[in-house]
Amino acid sequence: MTDSTKKTVATTHIEMSEIVLPNDANTLGNILGGKVMHMIDIACAVAAHRHCRRPVVTASMDYLDFRHPIKVGALIIVKASVNRAFRTSMECGAKVFSEDLETGERKHTSTAYLTFVALDENKKPTPVEPIVAETPEEQRRWQQAVIRRDFRMRQKEALRAPR
């Protein structure tokens, strides 16, 4: 693969932002968790689709916490990219930030890991190419992705096993 055709993490990177409006907020004036999850799902789906250039489905979303509320009127920013590609699946990572538009203060509010599966014309899982992690940060995420994948697999098996 030449440098111009290699599939890098950077080519999957996406940033989505929106002003939080009252329709997406709870009665305390903070963004709804479901709205944050929706944005994470869309951003990660685009990153995965960019990598494999095929339709993808969400197979799983790992544990998600909300560290700080995001107020109506603030900006929500979701940054996502593919961390690692496996056989037919890809782990995507998303980081969510809030930005106070008056002061410019940014807070990291959530981190999430999602798995997407590429589908063929018959809507069956289909192999994807490996991804090249270039920076030290991308390489750290690439290495840790396999640990998270093993954990997911073990958890799935354990929950399936008769007790």
Q: Which residues bind ligand COA (CB under 6 A)?
A: 57-60, 86-89, 115, 117, 125, 152, 156
Residue 132: helix, strand or coil by DSSP? Answer: strand
Residue 30: helix, strand or coil by DSSP? Answer: strand
Strands (E), 12-152: 14-19, 56-61, 75-85, 89-99, 106-118
How far is it, in rounded angstroms, from Cα 76 to Cα 68?
12
Query: Which CB sits closer to ligand COA, 14 or 45?
Result: 45
Query: Which CB sits closer to ligand COA, 61 or 132?
Result: 61
Query: Which CB sits closer to ligand COA, 61 or 75?
Result: 61
- Shortest separation between residue 127's beta carbon and ligand COA, angstroms: 7
Provide the residue type at 96 as one letter. Answer: V
Backbone angles phi, psi at 5, to 5 degrees: -110, -10
- Shortest separation between residue 131's beta carbon and ligand COA, angstroms: 12
- Shortest separation between residue 4's beta carbon and ligand COA, angstroms: 26
- Shortest separation between residue 40's beta carbon and ligand COA, angstroms: 13
